[in-house]
Chain A
Amino acid sequence: MLFPPALCARLAGAPGAAEPLPVERDPTAGAAPFRFVPRPVRFPRDHEFFEDGDVQRHLYLQDVLTQVSEAPEKSMVPEFTCQVAGCCQVFAALEDYQHHYHMLHANTCSLCSRAFPSGHLLDIHILEWHDSLFQILAQRQDMYQCLVEGCLEKFKTSQDRKDHMVRFHLYPADFRFDKPKTSRGPAMPVAADLLARALQDDGAAMEVCSEPTALPPCTRTYNHRIPSTVCFGQGATRGFKSSKKKNKHH
Chain B
Amino acid sequence: MWSGRQARFRPLACGVEELRRRRREREAALRKARREQHLVSKRLLREDAEGPCAAELLREVEVQQFLRLAQSGTDEKEREKALVSLRRGLQHPETQQTFIRLEGSVRTLVGLLTSNRALLQLEAARCLHELSHSEQSAVAEACLPATSYLLTYLSGHSSDFIELCLYTLGNLIVESEAVRKQLLPQGIVPALAACIQSPYVAVLEALGYVLSQLLQAKEAPEKIIPSILDSTLPQHMLRLMQPGPKLNLGVAVEFAWCLHYITCSQVNNAVLITHGALATLVLLLLDLAGTVQRVDDAGLELFFLQKQPSLLPEGLWLLNNLTANSPTFCTSLLSLDLLEPLLQLLPLSNVVCILVLTVLCNVAEKGPAYCQRLWPGPLLSCVLNTLTLSDTEVVGQSLELLQLLFLYQPEAIQDFLQQSGLQALEQHQEEAQLRDRIRALQQTAIHA
Contacts and interface: CB of A to CB of B under 8 A. Distances in A.
Q: Main secondary structure on chain A at its contact with chain B? A: loop
Contacts of B34: 51, 54-55
Contact of A203 (B71, B323, B327, B341): B71
A239 interface: no
A171 B148 contact: yes
B403 A103 contact: no
Nearest to A120: B155
B367 A22 contact: yes
Interface in B280-328: 286, 289-290, 294-295, 298-299, 301-302, 310, 313-314, 317, 320-321, 323-325, 327-328
Contacts of B214: none
B326 to A, nearest CB: 8
Contact of B338 (A7, A96, A208): A7
Interface string A37-74: 01111111110011111111111111011011111100
Interface in A99-123: 99-100, 102-104, 106-107, 115, 117-121
Contacts of A205: 114, 116
Contacts of A96: 118-119
Contacts of B189: 150
The residue in A41, A150, A214 that gathers the most chain B C-beta atoms within 10 A of its C-beta is A150
A33 B71 CA distance: 79
A164 to B, nearest CB: 11
Contact of B299 (A4, A40, A69): A4
B301 A232 contact: no
Contacts, number: 278
A95 B159 CA distance: 11
A136 interface: no
A68 B51 CA distance: 7
Contact of B290 (A1, A39, A62, A169): A1
B348 interface: no
A176 interface: yes
Given A41-B317, A169-B187, A24 B41 contact: no
A216 B8 CA distance: 39
A18 B1 contact: no
Contacts of A13: none
A169 B152 CA distance: 13
A250 interface: yes
B298 A148 contact: no
A10 B191 CA distance: 42
A40 B49 contact: no
A21 interface: yes
B400 interface: yes
A35 to B, nearest CB: 7
A99 B328 contact: no
Contact of A21 (B122, B337, B369): B369
A69 B160 contact: no
B71 A17 contact: no
Nearest to A34: B403
Interface residues of B, number: 116
A100 B118 contact: yes
Contact of A170 (B161, B182, B314, B334): B182
Contacts of A56: 310
Given A30-B365, A61-B42, A2 B299 contact: yes
A98 B161 CA distance: 11
A3 interface: yes
A20 B328 contact: yes
Nearest to B314: A53
The residue in B27, B51, B156 that gathers the most chain A C-beta atoms within 10 A of its C-beta is B156
Contacts of B324: 38-40
Contacts of B327: 20-21, 23
Nearest to A22: B369
A210 B191 CA distance: 29
A217 to B, nearest CB: 16
B437 A34 contact: yes
A169 B185 contact: yes
A202 B111 CA distance: 10
B47 A149 contact: no
Given A68-B51, A102-B158, A23 B253 contact: no
Nearest to A103: B118
The residue in A57, A71, A72 that gathers the most chain B C-beta atoms within 10 A of its C-beta is A57
Contacts of A59: 23, 26-27, 30
Nearest to A249: B157
Contacts of B193: 150
15 contacts: A4-B340, A7-B302, A21-B327, A26-B408, A34-B440, A49-B313, A69-B47, A72-B47, A98-B158, A99-B119, A100-B119, A148-B190, A170-B185, A172-B145, A172-B148
Given A26-B408, A67-B1, A170-B186, 12 more contacts: A18-B331, A21-B327, A32-B436, A38-B361, A44-B264, A49-B317, A64-B43, A67-B9, A68-B51, A106-B157, A203-B112, A233-B157
